[in-house]
Structure 1
């Protein structure tokens, strides 16, 4: 079993710079609640990084363009967290749920509860 985290952002350095600018200038309108939880403006959130390092779960992380390239037949709303078992996807956290989560600690708690 793997957990797949798909951000509502595209890959690439230029897109990353735009994301940083958006987080700095207008954080309340930033479109990726998952990124806002797991990353500070310039780096990965320390609590999240520690959770990932200590977790028993296999995790993969994708920008939406990377996910759509790897899994072109899977249609999603972003951001989202999926569970992948063999070839079966199950939604763990929807965009609506991720938007309601206000801290990385709550995100970790919800992930543990969902699995």
Structure 2
């Protein structure tokens, strides 16, 4: 059975939040609070390299914003960004925020995910 991964950004949903995030990434990227967003997205769209990597994975996945995590899975108080693995209706932490925040590039993140999937 394929693992089901839930990527959770340290950002909220909504048009205002999206515009604020775009501006923050452009004008003050060093203080942007979501390394998962910073690595996998350019200023306006998903990075092609990240999209291709996701398509190559032998896994299912979904992406949530921080304000969607608790209503969907009942999880709160977990430092974000993070990646969870879904087991039944529950999720367990799979890659924590410290690990994601140590990634300095998309290559680092891809290597982390690939290694974790390998076991």
Q: TM-score, normalized by length of structure 2? A: 0.89
> What's the CA shift string for 1:2-47, capped at 9, x where partnerless?
0000000000111100000000010000000110111011110111
Q: How does 1:2-21 map to 2 (within 5 A)?
A: 2-21=4-23
1:90–1:61: structure 2 CA closer, same or farther, 3 Å change rule? same
Is residue 48 from structure 1 mapped to residue 40 from structure 2 by the alignment?
Answer: no
Unaligned runs of 5+ in 1: none
SS at match of 1:11: coil
Q: Find the counterpart in structure 1 of residue 24 from structure 2.
A: 22
TM-score (norm 1): 0.92
Matched positions, count: 114
**Offset at residue 93 of structure 1 (A):** 1.3
